[in-house]
Amino acid sequence: MSRINGFVGRRHFLKIAGLTTLSIGSLTACNEIITNRSEIIIPETNPNPNPVSANEAQRRLVEGNRRFINQSRRYPNQSKRRLQSVSKTQYPYAAILGCADSRVPPELTFDQGLGDLFVVRVAGNIASDEAIGSLEYSTTALGTELIVVLGHERCGAVKAAIKNQPVPGKVGSIVDEIRPALPQIQQRTNDINDSNYEQNAIINNIQYQVERLQNNSAVLAKLIRAGRLNVVGAFYDLDTGKVNFI
């Protein structure tokens, strides 16, 4: 197997992800729903020589966030020795699908270091094809057993979806991936401007993106059924720094 700076070679990754039997067109689409999910092949064993269970991974994240809130951060795994160690290979114990918002950097909010988290960030923490493909890599090639969809308070992307107005450029493609998650309530003006409505919409979007990861990726779905992956949602409070798992 070929490795470059700790990354599994492309051909081997496609093989273990079960994508070698797909057409180039399907590969480009990356995560279209596959009718016969039994054809998807996942590694027989976790590629991480010291795998971290989903429960243990979530415990570490909770503990790290507690340190962050209490201003008792340890700044773990940030030494030169750690830098040199992970330059050869990586086995992050958790993957985060988070929003690109500058106020919500997962490595800081969970008090983690180099090689601890596999972070995918995009506005609105949406489960795009690119995000799903990245998370498939993290789980099949690196052995991550926990994926956290991390949304946050006062999310601008969710606000744009609530307003339901034209947006410039390609921002609209992000908003379109959030709109189905909006609460199904009568959207009167006073409802839309209500802070409770906005918070409910953010929570709904987190849960919706969790479901998209499970339903739009045959790879992740098979790992979940095999008991080797858990996908959960979490909400970050901008005012306190606290992460609540939902």
pTM given for the model: 0.83
Distance CA 183, CA 168 (A): 24
> Residue 84: how many CB atoms within 10 A of its CB?
10
Half-sphere exposure of 124 (CA within 13 A, CB side): 26
Annotate 49-100 with DSSP letters as a single string: SS---HHHHHHHHHHHHHHHHTT-----S-SHHHHHHHTT----SEEEEE--
Radius of gyration of the chain (CA): 19
pLDDT given for residue 40 in this prediction: 79
What is the signed CA dihedral for 177, 218, 27, 3, rounded to 10 degrees? 110
pLDDT given for residue 189 in this prediction: 42
- Residues 183-205: pLDDT tens digits? 765 444 455 567 789 999 999 99
Q: Which parts of the chain sit beneath pLDDT 70?
A: 1-39, 184-193
- Residues 146-159: pLDDT tens digits? 999 999 999 999 99
51 residue type, one letter: P
